[in-house]
Amino acid sequence: MVNIKNLSLTLPNLKTEKSIIKNINFYAKAGEIIILAGKSGSGKTTTLRCIAGLENNFNGSISINNQEIKALKSEESSKLTVMVFQGLNLFPHLTALENCIKPLIITNKFKLEEAKTIAINVLKKLDMEEFVNEHPSKLSGGQQQRIAITRALCLNPKVILLDEPTSALDPQNSLKLKLILKKISQTGITIIISSQDMNFLNIIEADRVYFMKNGEITQTFEQSNKEESDKNRNILSFLKPHLFD
Amino acid sequence: MLNFLFLNIKLITLGTFNTLSLWLAASLISLLAGSLLGVFRCSQLKFKIIKTILNFTTFILRGIPYYVQLLIAYFVLPDLLGINISATTAAIYSLGLCSASYMSQIVKSGINSIPIGQWEAAKTLGFSTIQTLRHIIFPQFLKNALPAICGELDQLLKSTSIIASIGVLELTKAGMNIISRNMNPIPVYISIALIYLTLSTLLSLTSNFLEKRTTTW
């Protein structure tokens, strides 16, 4: 369970201090897909960065399974949450497999063979086993995206954060990503996505959508209708006036 | 020319061997101290006081010509500190530390050139700062900075010739000794120049080989 209470972040600007996010409150239960929607500069990515432990000067509270993120070392917080960046940030000098096993060996202290078994199992689930020995530069955007997700999944976190996951994907790969995320959420992992891609928001079946503007959550959309087919229609009708105003 | 080389081969071999030994020792100091200085000065680590001290140290080392540093190390420091330093020791430390200040600049800018996203990805995956440096940043840094590091070591090799001024018998000093005996500088200086050129070429070839080995991605 993710609980975010009164989250605010102010960063020093050239002359004054700039408020990036203001008084954000939201929650996410295990296995839910949550979307932070909004235009560029609305504070979506910064919110994810705070949850990932990349920003430490925030006010308020972020807890995952009742553990305060601010108090945790990176080694401990990676067991709770892992972020998949917009630029993916795969390690270019490592192969796809090495990208996935390195954190397992370094952070989770697995032996090489154990780490390999875990990584290959996850890579198989995401249809990436044929690319295990390729370096990221040899892979397409969609394949790199799946490696980045695999790398995060291997650590078996409670929450996966995805920042603009479809920014480098074509519609076909976006659809594949949606299916992958659905599968992941069914295993009990919470997924929090920041996105302004209407096509993706059109297909993803989110449990809740928070619309952000100028660093604040201005609207919340909660699924009341449990019919899967109705979910996206509802999200779309909620977001359209906000994203295209 | 060949006759000259044959007559003085012993002294030239000794000079070449000493030059390589001095270079090797100074290179080790340069690489170790330079890496340490560079890592602490990189923008990702926030040790403000240490950074200020190290920045000042490198400013001093880079701002004073190597020849002057060598003279201070050999003539001034022993008097000031009341210790006895041999010419070879003074030469190795002054050359090594002077080169370390340039090496630290290479290391610092090399590390700073790695995108910040690599540090952040490593952090969210649970790596500590030292683990990030060792497993993620260093291999990428090496690929980018290897030509500059080899260039600095090449420069260091050629700088060993200045050590002749404090009487250490390295290649240039060996040449000077031969000239003082036979008063024929042309074959001596041409031979010495060719030896330096050969050593520098060998270093260049090693650098190219290492660059190819590290560029597999």
Question: Considering the domain boundaries, does residue A37 fall inside one?
Answer: yes
Q: Can you give the pLDDT at residue A200? A: 81
- Asked if A52 lies within 8 A of B121 by C-beta distance, the reply is no
| pLDDT score of A18 | 79
CB contact under 8 A, A93 and B139: yes
CATH number of the structural domain spanning residue A213: 3.40.50.300
Residue A192 domain-assigned (yes or no)? yes
Residues A68 and A111 in one domain: no
Q: Is residue A238 part of a domain?
A: yes
Q: Indicate if A102 and A176 belong to the same structural domain.
A: no
Check B125 against A53: CB less than 8 A apart: no
- Lowest average pLDDT, out of A22-31, A169-178, A212-221, B167-176, goes to A169-178
Which residues of B fall within a CB distance of 8 Å from A152? 125
* Residue A238 forms contact with B (CB below 8 Å): no
- pLDDT classification of A224: cutoffs 50, 70, 90: low
In this prediction, residue B211 carries a pLDDT of 86
Confidence band of B46 (pLDDT split at 50, 70, 90):
confident
Tell me the residue length of chain B.
Answer: 217
B117 burial (CB, 10 Å; 0-12 / 13-18 / 19+) is middle
Clarify whether residues A170 and A239 are in a common domain: yes
| CB of A54 closer than 8 Å to CB of B123 | yes
Residues of the domain holding A31: 2-80+157-243
Specify whether A112 is located in the same domain as A143. Answer: yes
CB contact under 8 Å between A75 and B123, yes or no, is no
Task: Give yes or no: residues A137 and A181 share one domain.
Answer: no
B96 pLDDT more than 90: yes
Q: Helix or strand or coil: residue A72?
A: coil
Among residues A111, A139, A156, the one where a domain terminates is A156
Shared domain for A67 and A100, answered yes or no, is no
Which of A79, A89, A108, A161 would best serve as a mutation to test chain B binding (most B beta carbons within 10 A)? A89
State both tokens at B65. 């010509």
pLDDT in tens, B186-211: 989 999 999 999 999 999 999 999 88
Average pLDDT, chain B: 91
Confidence (pLDDT) at B1: 60
Residues A22, A41, single domain; the answer is: yes
Reported as a single tens digit per residue, the pLDDT across A7-28 is 999 887 656 777 889 999 999 9
Does the CB of B140 have a partner CB in chain A at under 8 Å?
yes
Residue among B135, B139, B143 whose CB faces A106 most closely: B135
Q: Does residue A91 or residue A234 have the better pLDDT?
A: A91
Q: What is the pLDDT of residue A236?
A: 63
User: Is A241 a residue whose pLDDT tops 70?
Assistant: no
Residue A67 in any domain: the answer is yes
Assess whether A165 and A201 both reside in one domain: yes
pLDDT of residue B206: 93
- Does A82 contact B124 at a Cβ distance shorter than 8 Å? yes
Q: Is residue A31 part of a domain?
A: yes
Distance of CA A136 to the CA centre of its chain: 20
Which residue of A106, A112, A138, A139 is the best one to mutate when testing the B interface, meaning the one whose CB has the most B CBs within 10 A? A106
The verdict on A24 and A98 lying in the same domain is no
Candidates B118, B143, B217; nearest CB to A89: B118
Which of these three, A110, A131, A156, is where a domain ends?
A: A156
Assess whether A169 and A145 both reside in one domain. Answer: no
The domain boundary, picked from A156, A172, A190, lies at A156
Domain count of the fold of chain A: 2
Calculate mean pLDDT across residues B55-73: 93
Q: What pLDDT shows up at residue B42?
A: 87
Please indicate, yes or no, whether residues A121 and A8 belong to a single structural domain of this protein.
no
- pTM given for the model: 0.84
Complex ipTM, two decimals?
Answer: 0.87
Give the pLDDT band of residue A99 (cuts 50, 70, 90). very high
Percent of chain B with pLDDT over 70: 97
Domains and CATH numbers, chain B: 14-168 (1.10.3720.10)
pLDDT(B106) > 60: yes
Report which residue type is found at A28.
A
DSSP string, A208-227: EEEEEETTEEEEEEE-----
Residue carrying structure tokens 């650590």: A155
Q: Which of A51, A91, A98, A131 to mutate to test the interface with B (most CBs of B within 10 A)?
A: A91
- pLDDT in the model for residue A177: 85
Region A204-224: mean pLDDT is: 85
User: Are both A51 and A149 inside the same structural domain?
Assistant: no
What is the count of residue pairs from A and B with beta carbons less than 8 Å apart? 71
Nearest CA in chain B to A100: B125
Smallest CA–CA separation between A108 and chain B, in Å?
9
Residue A85 forms part of a structural domain: no
